[in-house]
Amino acid sequence: MSSLREALIQAGAWCVSSPAGGASSLDYLFVGLSGAVVVYAAWKAIRHTLRPGEADRHHIKWRILDEEEGA
């Protein structure tokens, strides 16, 4: 059984190593798409935190309030 230190060294060597031919254009495409998804998700999270849109009549809050008024 290897020690934790040896396991971390092996994991580090695996993460740092690169393919023999270098990064392909497909790798760059995946990284670019992933980055775009992260930026979009962060933008939507910040936007909906600062402006939740509760004044819109289609917001879930209004559906709940309308059901209570009809009861």
Number of structural domains found in the chain: 1
pLDDT tens series, the chain, 71 aa: 578 888 777 776 666 666 677 778 888 999 999 999 999 999 999 998 998 777 777 777 777 766 655 55
User: Per the structure block, which two tokens stand in for 3?
Assistant: 């020690």
Q: Domain for residue 43, yes or no?
A: yes
Q: Domain for residue 5, yes or no?
A: no
Q: Domain for residue 18, yes or no?
A: no
Give phi and psi for 42, each to the nearest 5: -65, -40
pTM assigned to the model: 0.54
